[in-house]
């Protein structure tokens, strides 16, 4: 069994907590760490993270924060910015880095789901891998099998279930 890698709820919107963390950093890196923690934990915090600030802050981040910041940076500043962007960060932050359906808290299994497909400006849901897979396949059981592509396995065909 793996240890849970999660984020405590009391870190959010807590300026004292951020300043305690910042005080432990090398002086010239404090500004970057403050920005990075505000990006992760403040509802009105920055919605993107310049690469230099991310790199400066990394040595002072905890394991769950390192996973999160890499996952989010790719979506707000990196190569997935056009299909995700600031709204995806806001959704993950508002969900407190937990699954919006079952509240599972391990940051390694979180997905940002496009609620209405990959359309710019539409909302996102923060879901764990299980809830995301169930949502994606929630109507599979009533779709007919396509004989051309056989997109559904035989075991999904109702005729195969024991009576």
Interface contacts to Zn ion, rule CB under 5 A: 99, 101-102, 104, 128, 131
Of the pair 77, 111, the CB lying nearest Zn ion is at 111
Closer by beta carbon to Zn ion, 12 or else 104: 104
User: Nearest distance from residue 67's CB to Zn ion, in Å?
Assistant: 17
DSSP string, 36-92: HHHHHH-TTS-S---HHHHHHHGGG--HHHHHHHHHHHHHHTSTTTTTS-HHHHHHH
Q: How far apart are the first and last CA of the chain?
A: 37
> Which residue is associated with the tokens 């009576």?
163
**What is the closest distance, in whole angstroms, from the C-beta atom of residue 125 to Zn ion in the complex?**
10
- Smallest distance from the beta carbon of 99 to Zn ion, in angstroms? 3
* C-beta of 40 vs 128, nearer to Zn ion: 128
The nearer residue to Zn ion, 33 or 110, going by C-beta atoms, is 110
Neighbours of 40 (CB within 10 A): 25
Least distance in Å: CB of 107 to Zn ion?
A: 13
* Beta-ladder partners of 112: 126
């Amino acid at each position: 069994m793996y240890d849970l890698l999660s984020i405590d709820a009391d870190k959010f919107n807590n300026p004292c907590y951020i300043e305690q963390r910042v005080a432990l950093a090398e002086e010239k890196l404090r500004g970057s760490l403050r920005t990075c923690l505000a990006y992760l934990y403040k509802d009105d915090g920055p919605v993107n993270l310049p690469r230099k600030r991310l790199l400066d802050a990394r040595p002072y981040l905890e394991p769950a924060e390192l996973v999160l910041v890499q996952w989010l940076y790719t979506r707000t500043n990196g190569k997935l910015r056009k299909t995700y962007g600031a709204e995806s960060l806001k959704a993950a932050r508002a969900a407190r880095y937990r699954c919006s359906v079952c509240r599972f808290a391990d940051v390694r299994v979180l997905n940002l789901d496009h609620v209405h497909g990959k359309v710019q400006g539409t909302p996102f849901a923060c879901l764990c891998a299980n809830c995301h897979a169930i949502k994606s396949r929630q109507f599979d059981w009533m779709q007919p099998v396509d004989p051309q592509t056989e997109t559904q396995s035989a075991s999904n065909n109702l005729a195969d279930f024991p009576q």
